[in-house]
Structure 1
Amino acid sequence: MASVSVEAVRKRYGALEVIHGIDIAIPDGEFVVLVGPSGCGKSTLLRMIAGLEEISGGSIRIGDRVVNHVPSKDRDIAMVFQNYALYPHMTVRENMGFSLKLRKAEQNVIAERVQRAAEILSLTELLDRYPKQLSGGQRQRVAMGRAIVRNPQVFLFDEPLSNLDAKLRVQMRTEIKALHQQLRTTSIYVTHDQIEAMTMADRIVVMHDGIVEQIGTPLELYDTPANLFVAGFIGSPAINLICGVLRRDGGRSWVATEAGIDLPLDGAAAGHDGQPVVYGFRPEHLTPVNGSGLPTRVEVVEPTGANTFVYAELGGAQICGVFSERRGFTAGETLHMVPQLDRVHLFDAASGRRLVA
């Protein structure tokens, strides 16, 4: 196993720069997820770490070795792709052991490693089947088994669950996390699905337009997003964001909206009087109240079983509340709600940066 260090890395295609000087330090044994919308540069960065793309500037280290010009096959990494890339004419056993065969490993070594990987991934009963005889989830486990037998310093995952149905994705992400907890191999995982990132990662790297917006644990990103992009990208349903102007009067603070609604703040809120801001709160941090609070008009009610999602209009803005109590919400009713003041997020409207007291 080894650490991975990305230092001031850039990527250009001609005059077009798509990665703008990224710095990421990944300790030995950590599971890091690169997440962001399509085109943010996460897969390009992963391919540069793998040696499948040349870097245009900066350096990449695996362990103590700079690997900028080291061929992919000599970087001691193993990659699991979105498409399983299994050889259809080979059995599961042969697919998993093929990379070791190319390295001219001893047959007993190949057999031992394949058997161990098969036991870890519950593939023992499938070793003599061909890929066409497997389900999508089983094929993905074979692809992971092929990576495991190499005993690499680093695992790289490039959206490995994108081709699976929703139920199987949930199962497979649990299996991948359990696999990492067992092997403790440094792992870098790319996805556009923030739920995958939140549930699997030790730390998340949020990328946007070729830069890193924020790095942190899942709960750090959720509870203290550095800017509006991270706040809006992390969390489902999405955070509620309302534009307004910060107002102060003595020890009291609030955000005044164009619709004439005053959004409450606690006295320790950052920012100066008259500053344009964006007021944010998570859907689960709203509480229904009787007769006081923010007046909202309920538009859509979505019961999901454990929770009820209520989509409502507040002074021209669309907001969402998530409630666990069984209550008869009705479309068209006026519902008064208050946000938990210690969970409110305030952002500068011009820069998008989080305001910190």
Structure 2
Amino acid sequence: MASVSVEAVRKRYGALEVVHGIDIAIPDGEFVVLVGPSGCGKSTLLRMIAGLEEISGGIVRIGERVVNEIPSKDRDIAMVFQNYALYPHMTVRENMGFSLKLRKADRDTIGERVKRASEILGLDALLDRYPKQLSGGQRQRVAMGRAIVRNPQVFLFDEPLSNLDAKLRVQMRTEIKALHQQLKTTSIYVTHDQIEAMTMADRIVVMHDGIVEQIGTPLELYDRPANLFVAGFIGSPAINLIRGTLRRDAARSWVSTDAGIDLPLNGNIIGQDGQAVVYGIRPEHLSPSDSQGLPVTVGVVEPTGASTFVYADLSGAQICGVFSERHGFNPGGKMHLMPQLDRVHLFDSATGRRLSA
């Protein structure tokens, strides 16, 4: 196992720069997820770490070695792709051991490592099957097994669950996390799915337009997003964001919207009176109230069983509330939603930066 260090790494295609001087330090044994929308540079960064893309600037270290000029096959990494890339004419056993065979490992070593990986992944009964005889989830396990037998210093995952159905994705992300907890191998995982990132990562790297917006644990990013992009990207349903103007007097602070609605704040605010701001409150941090809070008109009600999603109109702004209790919400009905003031996020409208202390 080894640490991974990315220092001022850039990627250019001609005059177009798509990764802009990224710095990330990943300690030995950590599970880090690179997350962001399509085109943000996360897969390009992963491929530079893997040696599949040339680095235009900066340094990549695996352990103490600078690997910029080291071929991919000599970096002691193993990669699991979105495409399983299994050889159709080989059995599961042969697919898993093929990389060791190419390295001229002896038969006993190959057999021992394949046996260990198959036990970890529950593939013992499938070793003599061919890929066409496997389900999607079983094929993904074989792809992971092929990586495990190499006993690498670093695992790299490039959206490995994208081809699976929703139920199997949930199962497989649990299995990958359990696998990491067992092997303790440094792992870097790329996904555009923030739920995968939140549930699997020790730390998350949120990327956007080739830069890192924020690095932190899942709950750090959720509870204290550094800017509007992170706040809007992390969390499902998405955070409610309402534009307005910060108002302060000697006694209190609040946000006034263009529609004349006053949004309450606690005293933990560092903005200036008259500043254009964005008021953020997550759906689960709103509570139904008879007469206090934000006056809304109920629009769409979505019961999910464990909770109910309510989409409502706040004088032209659309907001969402999530409630575990079962209330009699009626489309078109009037109600109030009271925000938990210690859970309110405030952002500068011009820069997007967080204003909450």
Amino acid at match of 1:273: D
Amino acid at match of 1:114: V
Q: Secondary structure at the match of 1:73?
A: helix
Matches within 5 A, 1:89-128: 89-128=89-128
8 Å Cα contact 2:30/2:185 also seen in 1 = yes
Matches within 5 A, 1:149-164: 149-164=149-164
Match of 2:235 in 1: 235
Off by >6 Å, runs of 4+ in structure 1: none
Distance 1:74 1:172 in 2: 29
Amino acid at match of 1:84: Y
Amino acid at match of 2:110: I
Distance 2:335 2:222 in 1: 26
Match of 2:213 in 1: 213
Distance 2:291 2:224 in 1: 31
Amino acid at match of 2:320: C
Q: How far has the Cα of 1:265 moved from its partner?
A: 0.3
Match of 2:262 in 1: 262
Match of 1:342 in 2: 342
Matches within 5 A, 1:175-324: 175-324=175-324
Q: How far has the Cα of 1:267 moved from its partner?
A: 2.1
Distance 1:50 1:267 in 2: 47
Match of 2:174 in 1: 174
Distance 1:317 1:224 in 2: 23
Q: Secondary structure at the match of 2:132?
A: helix
Distance 2:313 2:218 in 1: 29
Q: How far has the Cα of 1:236 moved from its partner?
A: 0.2
Q: Secondary structure at the match of 2:181?
A: helix
Distance 1:314 1:179 in 2: 46
8 Å Cα contact 1:35/1:206 also seen in 2 = yes
Amino acid at match of 1:151: N
Q: Secondary structure at the match of 2:273?
A: coil
Match of 2:25 in 1: 25
Matches within 5 A, 1:325-336: 325-336=325-336
8 Å Cα contact 1:298/1:334 also seen in 2 = yes
Match of 1:61 in 2: 61
Amino acid at match of 2:318: Q
Tell me the percent identity.
85
Q: How far has the Cα of 1:269 moved from its partner?
A: 1.7
TM-score by length of 1: 1.00
Amino acid at match of 2:43: S
Distance 1:278 1:317 in 2: 12
RMSD: 0.5
Q: How far has the Cα of 1:4 moved from its partner?
A: 0.1
Matches within 5 A, 1:62-77: 62-77=62-77
Distance 2:321 2:156 in 1: 37
Distance 1:336 1:112 in 2: 64
Q: Secondary structure at the match of 1:325?
A: coil
Q: How far has the Cα of 1:315 moved from its partner?
A: 1.5
Q: How far has the Cα of 1:293 moved from its partner?
A: 1.8
Q: Deviations over 1:128-172 (max 9, x none)?
A: 000000000000000000000000000000000000000000000
Count the aligned residue pairs.
Answer: 357
Amino acid at match of 2:116: R
Distance 2:248 2:356 in 1: 16
Amino acid at match of 2:19: I
8 Å Cα contact 1:251/1:267 also seen in 2 = no
Distance 1:285 1:270 in 2: 21
Distance 1:266 1:216 in 2: 25
8 Å Cα contact 1:240/1:281 also seen in 2 = yes
Amino acid at match of 2:147: A
Q: How far has the Cα of 1:268 moved from its partner?
A: 2.6
8 Å Cα contact 2:268/2:356 also seen in 1 = no
